[in-house]
């Protein structure tokens, strides 16, 4: 077998499959190298598909490995590029910070040069703000240097020391500036020339120091830019190499897929197309079509099954012919038997149909009579039900009235009982009030005694005041003051006596009113007690009347229940009578239908017998 093979790509003419000729094929030949020598191809389709799957998995793994390598290299290139960009960005940030520090130094110098004693406080505030900004920029510079681990800066050794010098120089400049500003404020003049020269010299020294640092940063930025350029060029070379490897892998994969496709077309699809064409011819009845043979085990098994299918079709045709002969004989025999059966059927069924027709006529007559009787019974039951409903309504109305009367009597009894209880409480409260008024009279008597005692004390006080007045008169000039006091005491004693007399009169009035109230309350208590006795008698009478009314209500309810049962029974009779009428109507309809069906049965029997006899 050569390393090249011809692939015939056939176009099947679908319209010729059902014709008398084989499907026509229009081949064209494409020569491709066979990727695997035929001697190494497995003998089964399963093994070939496994080989194909193994090859495709190997291609996928190869592509995946290359993709992983590409991703790793891309990640490394991105990290290197990012590091270089970060370094360059830090260099630019360092330059910007150094420039800011120089600008702030100049701003400090200008602020000192333009200051005067009139605005010295504002100048101090501005100088402190400039100092804060400078120290903030210096801290940022120190942080960047620390983060990058700088020990040298563009050929400048000891970066940390230089950053410290930049801070110390500015702090010295700041201290000298503030000192000079204080001198200006004390002398009330302008900034002296020697101070300006000193500050200018200090600023120039700081500028020179920062310029050297800036030159070092620029040199470092140039180195970082060169490193970034080299990194980008290296990344471009690596990307080009990876693209070449990926293209090579893609070409290998494409060639492998083409070889596998050729293998599938030549070893699987073409034999399957041949088997499909042969199956179509056999399905169209061309049983003389030869079945091809294949060396492949799976296709050989399919071809063997197809040959069995062809042999079965041939056997099926032979059996079909035999069955047709047997069916022709059976049809003739069946025709003869049907003729005999029709004759016997006509003789036996004719009498049955006549009997059914006669019975249906009699059933219809009976159903009509039964329906009329049911209708009369329904009308009578309806009349009785109406009368029963009327009686039940009247009894129910009487029962409702009795129930309302009983409820009213119960309410009256409850109200009378409540009134009796209230009267009892009123008697108790009247007795309590009588006791309270009596105690009030006793208290008034005790108050009267106290008032008498106060009156006696006032009289004695009056006598004492009179004696004091007499003694004061005897004393002459020395007793005038005492005489005045004695007069006041006498006056108070007189007022106390009058007030005590008024209180005595009021207490007498209270005692009199208390006695009258006690008498009135006793009379009220007796009246309420009499009312309580009457209420108790009324409650007893109402309770007796309520019992009688309850008996009447129960009897009327029993009568209403009996009337309701009669109504229900009459309703049931009415419903049953209506159902009987309905069933009678149904029986009448069924009898009519049975008569019609018996007539139709007679007609169908006649037609059936005629058809059977006719063949």
Do 427 and 529 meet the contact criterion of CB atoms below 8 Å apart?
yes
Position 313 in a domain: no
Position 279 in a domain: no
* Number of domains, the chain: 2
Considering the domain architecture, whether residues 93 and 226 belong to the same structural domain is answered as: yes
Considering the domain architecture, whether residues 464 and 590 belong to the same structural domain is answered as: yes
Position 8 in a domain: no
pLDDT number for residue 545: 66
Considering the domain architecture, whether residues 379 and 519 belong to the same structural domain is answered as: yes
Backbone angles phi, psi at 476, to 5 degrees: 80, -135
Considering the domain architecture, whether residues 433 and 567 belong to the same structural domain is answered as: yes
Position 94 in a domain: yes
Domain limit, last residue, from 234, 257, 280: 257
Position 267 in a domain: no
CB within 8 A of 507, min separation 6: which ones? Answer: 444, 447, 448, 451
pLDDT number for residue 13: 34
What CATH number does residue 518 fall under? 1.10.287.950
Q: Is 153 left (phi over 0), alpha (psi -120 to 50) or beta?
A: beta
Position 531 in a domain: yes
Structural domain for 589, as ranges: 370-596
pLDDT number for residue 35: 42
User: Within 10 A of 357 (CB to CB), how many other CB atoms are there?
Assistant: 16
CB within 8 A of 489, min separation 6: which ones? Answer: 461, 464, 465, 468
pLDDT number for residue 45: 63
Pick from 253, 238, 321, 301: nearest CA to 63: 253
Task: State the Rg of the chain over Cα.
Answer: 69
Considering the domain architecture, whether residues 459 and 582 belong to the same structural domain is answered as: yes
The predicted-structure confidence for 378-393, as pLDDT tens digits, reads as follows 776 677 667 667 766 7
Position 238 in a domain: yes
The parts of the chain modelled with pLDDT lower than 50 are 1-40, 154-155
Considering the domain architecture, whether residues 234 and 382 belong to the same structural domain is answered as: no
DSSP-derived letter for residue 81 is: H
Query: What is the per-residue DSSP string for 90-125?
Result: HHHHHHHHHHHHHHHHHHHHHHHHT-BGGGHHHHHH
What are the Cα distances from residue 45, in Å, to 41, 55, 514, 591? 10, 15, 134, 77
Which stretches of 9-119 are DSSP H helices? 45-113
Query: What is the per-residue DSSP string for 382-450?
Result: HHHHHHHHHHHHHHHHHHHHHHHHHHHHHHHHHHHHHHHHHHHHHHHHHHHHHHHHHHHHHHHHHHHHH
pLDDT number for residue 20: 36
- Identify the residue whose tokens are 């503030």: 178
The predicted-structure confidence for 502-554, as pLDDT tens digits, reads as follows 777 777 776 677 677 677 767 776 776 776 677 677 667 767 766 766 776 67
pLDDT number for residue 92: 76
What CATH number does residue 229 fall under? 1.20.120
Do 388 and 566 meet the contact criterion of CB atoms below 8 Å apart?
yes
pLDDT number for residue 185: 67
Considering the domain architecture, whether residues 242 and 374 belong to the same structural domain is answered as: no
Considering the domain architecture, whether residues 253 and 374 belong to the same structural domain is answered as: no
pLDDT number for residue 328: 80
Position 471 in a domain: yes
């Amino acid at each position: 077998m050569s390393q090249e093979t011809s692939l015939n790509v056939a176009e099947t003419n679908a319209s010729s499959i059902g014709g008398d000729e084989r499907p026509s094929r229009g081949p064209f030949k494409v020569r491709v190298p066979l990727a695997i020598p035929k001697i190494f191809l497995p003998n089964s389709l399963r093994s070939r598909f496994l080989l194909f799957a193994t090859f495709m998995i190997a291609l996928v793994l190869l592509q995946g490995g290359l993709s992983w390598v590409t991703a790793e290299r891309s990640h490394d290139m991105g990290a290197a590029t990012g590091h270089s960009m970060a370094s360059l960005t830090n260099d630019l940030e360092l330059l910007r910070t150094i420039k800011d520090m120089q600008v702030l130094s100049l701003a400090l110098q200008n602020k000192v040069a333009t200051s005067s004693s009139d605005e010295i406080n504002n100048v101090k505030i501005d100088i402190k703000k400039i100092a804060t900004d400078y120290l903030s920029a210096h801290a940022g510079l120190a942080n960047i240097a620390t983060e990058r681990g700088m020990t040298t800066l563009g050929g400048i050794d000891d970066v940390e020391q230089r950053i410290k010098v930049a801070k110390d120089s500015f702090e010295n400049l700041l201290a000298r500036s503030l000192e000079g500003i204080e001198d200006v404020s004390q002398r009330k003049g302008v900034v002296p020339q020697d101070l300006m020269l000193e500050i200018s010299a200090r600023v120039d020294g700081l500028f020179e120091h920062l310029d050297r640092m800036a030159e070092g940063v620029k040199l470092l930025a140039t180195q970082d830019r060169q490193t970034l350029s080299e990194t980008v060029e290296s990344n471009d070379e690596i990307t080009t190499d990876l693209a070449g490897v990926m293209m090579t892998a893609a070409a290998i994969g494409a060639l492998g897929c083409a070889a596998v496709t050729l293998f599938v077309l030549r070893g699987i699809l073409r034999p399957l197309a041949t088997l499909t064409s042969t199956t179509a011819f056999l399905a169209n009845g061309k049983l003389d079509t030869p079945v091809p043979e294949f060396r492949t085990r799976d296709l050989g098994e399919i071809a063997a099954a197809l040959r069995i299918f062809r042999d079965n079709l041939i056997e099926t045709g032979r059996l079909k012919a035999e069955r047709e002969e047997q069916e022709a004989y059976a049809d003739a025999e069946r025709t003869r038997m049907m003729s005999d059966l029709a004759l016997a059927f006509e003789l036996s069924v004719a009498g049955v149909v006549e009997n059914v027709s006669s019975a249906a006529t009699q059933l219809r007559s009976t159903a009509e009579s039964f329906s009329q009787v049911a209708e009369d019974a329904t009308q009578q039951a309806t009349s009785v039900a109406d009368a029963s409903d009327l009686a039940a309504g009247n009894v129910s109305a009487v029962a409702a009235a009795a129930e309302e009367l009983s409820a009213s009597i119960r309410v009256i009894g409850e109200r009378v009982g409540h009134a009796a209880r209230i009267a009892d409480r009123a008697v108790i409260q009247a007795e309590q009030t009588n006791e309270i008024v009596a105690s009030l009279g006793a208290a008034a008597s005790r108050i009267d005694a106290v008032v008498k005692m106060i009156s006696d004390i006032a009289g004695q006080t009056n006598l004492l005041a009179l004696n004091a007045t007499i003694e004061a008169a005897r004393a002459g000039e020395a007793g005038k003051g005492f005489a005045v006091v004695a007069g006041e005491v006498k006056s108070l004693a007189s007022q106390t006596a009058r007030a005590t007399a008024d209180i005595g009169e009021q207490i007498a009035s209270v005692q009199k009113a208390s006695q009258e109230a006690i008498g009135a309350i006793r009379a009220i208590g007796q009246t309420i007690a009499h009312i309580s006795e009457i209420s108790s008698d009324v409650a007893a009478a109402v309770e007796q009347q309520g019992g009688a009314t309850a008996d009447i209500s129960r009897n009327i309810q029993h009568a209403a229940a009996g009337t309701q049962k009669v109504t229900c029974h009459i309703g049931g009779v009415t419903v049953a009578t209506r159902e009987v009428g309905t069933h009678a109507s149904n029986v009448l309809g069924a009898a009519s239908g049975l008569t019609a069906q018996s007539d139709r049965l007679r007609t169908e029997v006649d037609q059936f017998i005629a058809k059977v006899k006719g063949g």
